[in-house]
């Protein structure tokens, strides 16, 4: 069987935690930050877990994660 290619765009966006959960960075943190409150920007800093319903799709994009 041939190897499955990793979708490189997905590999750059997702990481796996020590417990095996898939994490991703939150959106709305890249530009136009002046109008956003400090609290909102601070809360967007953290990584979020990928929802369980999306695990299968992410695993298909990154087979060797």
Instruction: Tell me the mean pLDDT in the region 43-59.
Output: 94
Res 42: pLDDT? 96
CA 32 to chain centre: 21
Confidence of residue 54 (pLDDT cuts 50, 70, 90): very high
* pTM of this structure: 0.77
- Domain 8-61 coded CATH 4.10.410.60: yes
Rounded to 5, what percent of the chain is helix, strand, coil? 35, 15, 50
Instruction: Tell me the mean pLDDT in the region 14-39.
Output: 94
Res 65: pLDDT? 81
Instruction: Tell me the mean pLDDT in the region 39-61.
Output: 94
């Amino acid at each position: 069987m041939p190897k499955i290619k990793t979708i490189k765009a997905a590999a750059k966006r997702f990481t796996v935690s020590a417990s095996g959960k898939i994490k991703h960075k939150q959106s709305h943190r890249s530009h136009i930050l002046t109008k956003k409150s400090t609290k909102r920007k601070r809360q967007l800093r953290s990584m979020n877990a990928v929802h369980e319903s999306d695990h299968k799709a992410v695993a298909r994009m990154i087979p060797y994660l």
